């Protein structure tokens, strides 16, 4: 999958879970209210975003 397409898809998952305008310091509080399935979805999306950022970073350094 193209890196920016994947990035946008994972950001959309997080936006759906957290809302459009969540503050960084509110993430932990919101996640603590999630059920297991929602929590796993958030962690998977965040992990996928981190991998996208790594791919972008590595290609910029190459």
Q: How confident is the model at residue 15 (pLDDT cuts 50, 70, 90)?
A: very high
Domain ranges, residue 8: 3-56
61 domain residue, yes or no: no
50 domain residue, yes or no: yes
43 domain residue, yes or no: yes
- Give residue 4's pLDDT: 86
Report how many domains make up the chain. 1
62 domain residue, yes or no: no
13 domain residue, yes or no: yes
Please state the pTM of the whole predicted model: 0.82
Is there a contact between 54 and 23 (Cβ–Cβ < 8 Å)?
no
- Token look-up 């962690």 returns 43
15 domain residue, yes or no: yes
Q: Above 70 in pLDDT, residue 61? A: yes
Give the helix/strand (H/E) hosting 28: helix 27-32
């Amino acid at each position: 999958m193209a890196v920016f397409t994947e990035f946008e898809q994972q950001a959309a998952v997080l936006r759906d879970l957290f809302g459009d305008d969540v503050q960084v310091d509110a993430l932990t509080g919101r996640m603590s209210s999630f059920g297991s399935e929602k929590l796993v979805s958030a962690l998977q999306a965040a992990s996928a975003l981190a991998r996208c950022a790594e791919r972008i970073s590595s290609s910029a350094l190459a």
